[in-house]
């Protein structure tokens, strides 16, 4: 009987610890996922910026490439990029502004990823002027 009581108590303690681990571990996992997504996007942004710099060093005018997908296509055709980085990249002002509006599931996650980058934890709309500095923004309804 004593072993049965000890076994039940151990099972209850194990269950409580498991639930606490999932509860706490889920938040840690989500923060780590958001941080890794930000690091990947920053690396891809640097790759595009470096390709634009090389294009300009080779004598090309970056503003002649155009904006967004047209600029990426020009970099691909010139051989400065092997493949476009995943996502919908925006290139404006002759390569001065390069970003990927991250598709974050919730406004809270969007604010967190901006916080990781050292900005206030807010989620500005993607058509806002502050977008040029914030890595994540809130896309208008229906836009992908």
Crossing angle of helices 2-57/107-116, nearest 10°?
A: 70
For residue range 76-105, what is the model confidence (pLDDT) as tens digits?
A: 888 888 888 887 787 776 767 777 766 666
For position 13, what pLDDT does the model report?
93
For residue range 12-68, what is the model confidence (pLDDT) as tens digits?
A: 999 988 888 777 777 778 888 888 888 888 888 888 888 888 888 877 777 677 777
Under 8 Å between Cβ of 135 and 102: yes
Burial class from Cβ neighbours inside 10 Å (0-12, 13-18, 19+) for residue 139 reads middle
């Amino acid at each position: 009987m004593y072993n049965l009581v000890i076994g039940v108590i151990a099972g209850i303690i194990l269950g409580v610890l498991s639930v606490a681990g999932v509860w706490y571990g889920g938040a840690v996992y989500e923060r780590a996922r958001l941080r890794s997504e930000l690091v990947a996007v920053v690396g891809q942004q640097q790759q595009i910026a470096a390709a634009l710099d090389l294009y300009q060093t080779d004598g090309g005018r970056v503003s002649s490439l155009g904006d967004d997908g047209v600029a990426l296509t020009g970099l691909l055709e010139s051989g400065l990029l092997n493949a476009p980085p995943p996502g919908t990249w925006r290139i404006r002002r002759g390569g001065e502004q390069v970003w990927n509006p991250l598709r974050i599931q919730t406004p809270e996650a969007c604010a967190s990823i901006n916080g990781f980058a050292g900005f206030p934890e807010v989620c500005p709309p993607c058509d806002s002027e502050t977008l040029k500095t914030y890595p994540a923004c809130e896309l208008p309804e229906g836009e992908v």
